[in-house]
Structure 1
Amino acid sequence: MLTPDQSAPQSGETPDTSRQRKIPLDELLAGPPDQLDYPPVRNGVDYLVSVVDHLTNDRVDPRGIKYAVLHLQAAAEVLLKARLVREHWSLVFEDPGRASERDFRSASFKSCTIGEAVTRLRNIVGVTITDAEERALNALARDRNALQHYGLTHNARAVEARAGSVLDFLVRFLDDVLLPKLTFGEALAVQTDMDRVRDGLTGVQTYITQRLRRLRGELRGLEDRTVACPHCEQMTLVAEGRMNRCLFCGAAVTTKDMMVYIFLGSPEEDGSIIDSCPRCGQDTVMLDTELATGDRAPFCFNCPGALPPADIPRERP
């Protein structure tokens, strides 16, 4: 208990100045008003807030999609590398063998790519990243490069759907890998933003789900020649011969272009996954194609339809 002397204003104090102002918690966490304070995880989450703001506008326009892609790529890079740094700071260098702490502290180094970060997270850190998640990250990187250097010309809904896949992965990565290791203060600093990101992700997923539900009627009866679209990655591309159309994103893909997408997207160690068709004689068969029926089979895009595996004239290399 304070005595009368202790509670009275001391020399040089007035009754106002003797009482300390109660500082709100959010002000304490914010730091000095002119200080730029964005640690990696908080920085990555801030990028994700921008992403969901752009993707969940009432009217998603090409400009919004552009910034969503750019900021999503930045978020992916920041957050994946944040986990590498937690393991050891040298892992974010392009060549960890030539890493120096001085260069790391001054940020004077060339960092690894997102692809290299994924490989190191899997092989060194032991983080689980599925092949589908890796493909989504790679597709995002291609979209980002196209935007930066050439101007993206893909259908906006296709890009939005791909962005939704990466957003879903990054929220899972934050929840499972990064957020549990934050201090109480760090976790509190990103809590509000994470709530916004989760709400935004739900909105993007809801849009995709509702659109797929609306397309069920149009796709009914076409399941045996419906495959995944190379643009939006939804199981809504109807093979029609020379031209194939996606009912989800509206993309029109020639069979020739489809073969290019298949060739570029196949792992080198698997060899060629394109073969000749015994029905039409064209090199337009994709081996082991997933169909909307749930089956997997060799599928010809030139004379649309699945083939019995025994009809393929040669073995895969």
Structure 2
Amino acid sequence: MTSDVSLRVERDPVPRKVKVTPEIAASFLSRNSVNRRLDQGHVQALVEAILHDEWKLTHQGIGFDTNGRLLDGQHRLSAIIEADRPVEMFVWDGLPEDVFPVLDTVKRRSAADALSSTGEKKYLTLLSSTIRHVLLFRTMPNEPWTGARSRVSNDRILAEFKVDVDSYREAVTSGRELAKHVFASQTALAAGYFLTTEAAPAVDVDAWKAGLKSGANLEPGDARLVLREVPKGAPKRGVKRRPDMRDQVSMYIKAWNAWVRPEQTGKLVLRRLRKNEKMPMPVEEPFTR
């Protein structure tokens, strides 16, 4: 009798649906001889999908050639081992050896592609980036928003968008408008706009935006004026680098907080987050009955 992992076959490739445990994944990986070097960032993204119960059974899975060697699936198998959870996937046995060069050569679907499946048409790249950074703010505000750990799955972005479609559309539109007048990127401004207006829906956001866009009649020290005066472009001599996305979102929130609650704020200084400095949280200003 042939064991479950005995993979030499003499027929056309046939898929099997298998619940791949970490132990089975390790056994399958032991047959790896021709795969590419691991992309640890991709592995980590798959791990996050598994741990967040976002793994879905699709036609993509594990592929072995006619000699039982692993041709496709090393990233998925490595993620199962790292996540230490079993997942279901299709296992293909008996693939011709010459299919390896064409495996996984198609571009992966982006978050913008996923959002387009909802019928959304405008500013998809900015929209997906905005949602991603809102999620990073919520889940890891005090950690870098770059590298493998900062990857967010398309499923999470799509699910988040569906929770508050109108607010995300408004945030993207506002981010595009404000970027003409403020140093930060459209994404940082859209994410900051979404987070602050979500926390303080009772605040007159139109007055906030009008001041940022025109700068007219703003008194010295007005938080909107301070934010407008943060320099655009390259950093001044002696400054190591431009503010990154996390820095930009933090400055937007600091300025918003100072404008909403000026009595609680001293002299407003907007700069990059210092080492170990925590991300500011938007002040809350809910509607009252």
Taking structure 2 as the reference length, the TM-score comes to 0.29
Q: Which has the larger radius of gyration?
A: 1
Higher helix share: 1
Q: TM-score, normalised by structure 1?
A: 0.27
